[in-house]
Structure 1
Amino acid sequence: MTVRSRPPVAEGRIPAISPQPFRTYVETVLDGLAPDRPVIVGGGRRWTAREFRSLVHRLTRALAELGIGRGTHVTVLSGNLVETVAARYAVNLLGASYNHLYNRLSADVQAMMVRDVETSVLLVDPLLSARAAQIVASAPVAHVLRLGPAPKGGLAVGEDLLALAEGRGDEPVASPARPGDLCMIRHSGGTTGHPKGVRSTFGRMRHTEQMRELFVGEAPRDLVCTPISHAAGFIADGTLAAGGTVVLHYDFDPARILATIARERITHMMLLPPLLYQVLDHPDADRADTSSLKQVTYGGTPSSPSRTADAVRRFGRIFQQSYGQFEAGAVTLLPAHEHDPDRPDVLRTAGRVLPGVDVEIRDPDGKVVPDGEVGEICVRGPDMMEGYWKDPELTARTLVDGWMHTGDLGKLGENGYLTVVDRVRDMIAVVGGHVYTVELEDFLTTHPQILQAAVYGVRDREGPERVHAAVVLAPGSTLTADGLRALVRNGRGPMYEPDHVHLTDALPLTDAGKPDKKHLRRQAAEERSTRP
């Protein structure tokens, strides 16, 4: 079965629309900045629209003098700095492409990414200068530029781009970018093997217009406390384009997040489920003033229905879940009004398919399976990627006849709800069948003494994969590893019983805030190798 959203019926004649000159998403953002309030807050400073526009245009001119323009590539190694946002806009305003490194990857993988995109300029967060020096030692680039002065007593790598931009003109710069030009290359995590680079053209980057339409009549105040290299950065673009204010946090800190919501009267924010749980479980959550919040978007990794219900009971029906991939764009939405804490069956789903998007669930032979059966989620829609960077074979395997093969397993249920069951690569093949890691994680987190769980498979020396579970217990919990194994054996059956339960204070997370199962697998394999 193919699930499609029904398009609206047009009434009467639609007037002809004259073609408009192409404008980049950056120009849309800069045009939309609110003139009467701070537009971006970070690093102890509140930037007005005039100040921020000036910074963007001065950076644009400084980079242009270094030869940055259409067909060139700039890589960024940085945390959540106002200057980093401005630099991305400057790079794209020149028609060049932009690639943001993930800070938690090893230096050799980051260097691989720098080489992969044929980097002309490496822009560096001053606090990450030592790592930048490691990268360029094995991946030399023409220019290394710091986004500000070096910290006192710290290593200084490259020239200070802000100093180079000082004194340059800040008149608006007309972008030479065309819709088919490469705007961004966004890599996969890259913790094992060669990272995949997703190509996005300027024509595909329509997120600012979409977000601006959602914010009509509002002046959103968006807290960005996850990396701007991920979804939070795109939401911030839409906030600025809609005349709102973006507040940047350099690090994820639940206590600071709760304090900022109250002080800045934050209305919108985006969190991955493991980070949402950290905010929910913080001692300040029960007394913090979060009354200004209108919408918290979560997604990026499956969520626990019981933990989501806890969040709704604490903060209200302000949550919306979105499922998608950078390759395919947004696919489904579970809106706030459907977040009934007494409906775990609905909270377990990713919502319904968005207008203009088609979804099919297919078996390994490519045949569509009946509703309720598990298969690979395949997507067709208006926001598909153009392909993978320098990898036509992977592109051909992933994009087939206009359909994106997501690598996610899922099923379509009653009323068109999509449930994401697992990643194909995370499903654990055991004796007697398959263990879907998300199902076991959901089961574990329904226990009131379990805060978080990550389930993953580890290959045995001479046999099938073994089920491992990393579990974060609530303070004062009396559960033991053996008790948890018995809980699963009695509640889900012997096939789902973990061979190993690892009790931990916190799950390792990726840059984006997803449980880092690759790290957990490596850790388990290392522990196994030391056992007799």
Structure 2
Amino acid sequence: MPDTAHDFRTYVEENLDALGTDPGRVALVHQGRRVTAGEFRALVHRMARAMRKQGIDRGRTVTLLSGNLPETVAARYAANLIGCRVNHLYNKLSADVQATIVKDVETAALIVDPRFDDRAAELTALAPVPTVLTLGPAKTGTDLLELASAESDEPVPSGARPEDICTIRHTGGTTGHPKGICTTYGQVRTFVADDDEDAGDAKVLWERPADQEGNRLLVCTTLAHAAGMMADVTLREHGLVVLLEDFDPAEVLATIEREKITHLFLLPPLLYRLTDHPDAATTDTSSLRCLTYGGCQSSPARIADAIRRFGPVLVQFYGQNEAGGISVLPAEDHDPDNLERLRSAGRILPNVEVAVRDENGRDLPRGEHGEICIRSASIMQGYWKQPELTAEVLRDGWLHTGDIGFLDADDYLTIVDRIKDMIVVVGGHVYTTELEDLLNSHPGVLQSAVFGVRDEDRMEQVYAAVVLADGADVDADQLRAMVREARGAMYEPAHIEFVEQLPLTDAGKPDKKQLRAQATRTAA
């Protein structure tokens, strides 16, 4: 990567150059509306000029409150082209938490999807910002699209420098104050780079045989999470991005068939729902080349079900916002009859170092469980204005991920649990993912989430929320007996609740904070 500000080119500039090579091709699709590469590129430049006239310049923070619109991507590109920091709010967070984030990152401009107009009014009452812009007519703020329509679409020179903060991406917590993870323009560029020196994480997922047409990505999870970065790579690779507002399995399946989708990213709970949907058996999904899953722990038994349903196209990607990409389990390692291999997160990516360490920082031998520590160029700069918290996880150039895992003799990395999710019980500790794997192996169980709840003596009890398959004839006592026989009494849940569906965060992870809060209230 060029190391001078003069030579440096941002991911936005490279993506806009790629879009300019074939301006007539369709680049984005949303609710039947098809946006060409040329139209999108022109909109970004017009938006950048309009935003500058509103006093938004390099080094300021732009916060997005918006859904999966082409204009959302364009607004992010325009702000990054100027050299701004961009913070994209998770839409399902409470107004109080969103307001805390808006104030914390020193938002200079809030850009609002008109569909969130009421929330914008509530948010700005709690956290006033200097400028509010909207992606279309709305009561709160000034219409950015109208302002942009009066501007030239001539290229706008980038104001960003490689060391500038490009994104502040918050952890997907649903309560409290999420942490702001800072990533520079130089780091973001490596994710989509296509030269040998800078080949980024996404190249592992996006390369295709020379005789195949361009990639067609379906985005059905929030653009504020991993899907946004994958959309960037797709546009850089002259592909098509199809945007859905949210995950609905029937709509996802229909879109895969209609748009001949080649690439799809899902968190494991959403992948299970897609696999289990009755339309999956009759929908043509043969266009899929890469169904990437990650973001939280997966169940080997359920991944095997997905392989049998969709074919040898599944790829597991393990990473963190703090760390970037860490490892990949490619399609060729997805044998539905080898659950032990499916339990792993694959092999370490090039240019990433991994150490498994105990609580004293000592490197552990292969096979022993410890905290996974990472060293690479993709590690975050730190948490926004939280130096003490940054120092806790960044030590001597190594990021302490908070994940417990081990490396085996074949260099495969397996994640066992999150340190904070591990349940300490009398006689030892329970790894929640191991218990979830076991529960999910029962033919009557579709999904499960295991979490700890403290009793009146402040001792943790093992709780499980379980989604049953249609027509399943299984009760809590049968599941407890299965667990007791397979793993012993220590792993036996004190309480099993059967639910129709697991609550999920905005990103699509099981919301254990919500489950734990509900269980605590019930226990009280």
Report the TM-score, using the length of structure 2 for normalisation. 0.95
> Are 2:15 and 1:29 aligned?
yes
> Are 2:436 and 1:421 aligned?
no
> Are 2:188 and 1:188 aligned?
no
User: How far has the Cα of 1:194 moved from its partner?
Assistant: 2.2
- Give the aligned residue type for 1:191: T
User: How far has the Cα of 1:426 moved from its partner?
Assistant: 0.1
Cα offsets for 1:13-48 (capped at 9, x unmatched): xxx999971111001111112434200111431011
- Give the aligned residue type for 2:248: D
Deviates more, 1:471-480 or 1:214-223: 214-223
Cα offsets for 1:476-527 (capped at 9, x unmatched): 0111122222221222210000001010000000011100001111111111
User: How far has the Cα of 1:460 moved from its partner?
Assistant: 1.2
What is the RMSD computed on CA atoms of the aligned residues?
Answer: 1.6
- Give the aligned residue type for 1:310: D
Out of 61, 70, 74, which is 2:62 matched to? 74
1:215–1:242 CA contact under 8 A, matched in 2 = no
Out of 272, 286, 295, which is 1:291 matched to? 286
Give 1:45's aligned residue: 33
Out of 380, 395, 402, which is 1:407 matched to? 402
1:144–1:157 CA contact under 8 A, matched in 2 = yes
1:109–1:190 CA contact under 8 A, matched in 2 = no
Give 1:208's aligned residue: 192
- Give the aligned residue type for 2:165: L
User: How far has the Cα of 1:50 moved from its partner?
Assistant: 1.1
> Any idea what SS the aligned residue of 2:350 has?
coil
Out of 357, 364, 375, which is 1:380 matched to? 375
Query: Superposed, which structure 2 residues align to 1:121-140 within 5 Å?
Result: 121-140=109-128
User: How far has the Cα of 1:208 moved from its partner?
Assistant: 1.6
- Give the aligned residue type for 2:150: G
Q: Distance in 1 between the 2:490 and 2:317 partners?
A: 31
User: How far has the Cα of 1:215 moved from its partner?
Assistant: 3.3
> Any idea what SS the aligned residue of 2:318 has?
strand
Query: Superposed, which structure 2 residues align to 1:402-481 within 5 Å?
Result: 402-481=397-476
- Give the aligned residue type for 1:334: L
User: How far has the Cα of 1:463 moved from its partner?
Assistant: 3.7
Give 1:4's aligned residue: none
2:15–2:232 CA contact under 8 A, matched in 1 = yes
Give 1:224's aligned residue: 219
Give 2:306's aligned residue: 311
Q: Distance in 2 between the 1:330 and 1:277 partners?
A: 23
> Are 2:110 and 1:118 aligned?
no
In structure 2, do the counterparts of structure 1 residues 20 and 244 end up closer, same or farther at CA, with 3 Å as the change threshold? farther
In structure 2, do the counterparts of structure 1 residues 201 and 478 end up closer, same or farther at CA, with 3 Å as the change threshold? same
Deviates more, 1:184-193 or 1:254-263: 184-193
> Any idea what SS the aligned residue of 1:414 has?
coil
Deviates more, 1:292-301 or 1:17-26: 17-26
User: How far has the Cα of 1:189 moved from its partner?
Assistant: 2.2
2:422–2:429 CA contact under 8 A, matched in 1 = yes
- Give the aligned residue type for 1:183: C
Cα offsets for 1:294-348 (capped at 9, x unmatched): 0011011111111111111111110110111111110111000110111100000
Query: Superposed, which structure 2 residues align to 1:51-90 within 5 Å?
Result: 51-90=39-78
> Any idea what SS the aligned residue of 1:222 has?
strand
> Any idea what SS the aligned residue of 1:56 has?
helix
In structure 2, do the counterparts of structure 1 residues 407 and 17 end up closer, same or farther at CA, with 3 Å as the change threshold? closer
Deviates more, 1:29-38 or 1:263-272: 29-38
Q: Distance in 1 between the 2:273 and 2:279 partners?
A: 11
Give 1:10's aligned residue: none
1:294–1:318 CA contact under 8 A, matched in 2 = yes
Out of 339, 362, 366, which is 1:367 matched to? 362
Give 1:177's aligned residue: 160
Give 1:502's aligned residue: 497
User: How far has the Cα of 1:190 moved from its partner?
Assistant: 3.6
User: How far has the Cα of 1:167 moved from its partner?
Assistant: 2.1
Report the TM-score, using the length of structure 1 for normalisation. 0.93
Out of 139, 142, 164, which is 2:147 matched to? 164
Cα offsets for 1:386-430 (capped at 9, x unmatched): 111101111111111111000011011130111100000000000
Give 1:6's aligned residue: none
Cα offsets for 1:68-123 (capped at 9, x unmatched): 11111011111111110000000000001100111111100000000000001111
Q: Distance in 2 between the 1:17 and 1:144 partners?
A: 35
Q: Distance in 2 between the 1:215 and 1:36 partners?
A: 23
Q: Distance in 2 between the 1:466 and 1:193 partners?
A: 23
> Any idea what SS the aligned residue of 1:455 has?
strand
- Give the aligned residue type for 1:409: I
Give 2:197's aligned residue: none
> Any idea what SS the aligned residue of 1:518 has?
helix
Q: Distance in 2 between the 1:20 and 1:284 partners?
A: 53
Q: Distance in 2 between the 1:212 and 1:59 partners?
A: 29
Give 1:268's aligned residue: 263
Q: Distance in 1 between the 2:50 and 2:469 partners?
A: 52
Q: Distance in 2 between the 1:73 and 1:17 partners?
A: 24
> Any idea what SS the aligned residue of 1:203 has?
helix
Give 1:93's aligned residue: 81
Q: Distance in 2 between the 1:456 and 1:145 partners?
A: 41
> Any idea what SS the aligned residue of 2:484 has?
helix
> Any idea what SS the aligned residue of 2:410 has?
helix
Q: Distance in 2 between the 1:442 and 1:284 partners?
A: 26
Cα offsets for 1:435-478 (capped at 9, x unmatched): 00000000011111100000000111114100000000000011
> Any idea what SS the aligned residue of 1:120 has?
strand
1:198–1:387 CA contact under 8 A, matched in 2 = yes
> Any idea what SS the aligned residue of 2:516 has?
helix
| Matched pairs, number | 509
2:433–2:450 CA contact under 8 A, matched in 1 = yes
- Give the aligned residue type for 2:285: T
Give 1:492's aligned residue: 487
Query: Where do 5+ consecutive residues of structure 2 fail to align?
Result: 194-199
> Any idea what SS the aligned residue of 1:361 has?
strand
Give 1:3's aligned residue: none
1:212–1:241 CA contact under 8 A, matched in 2 = no
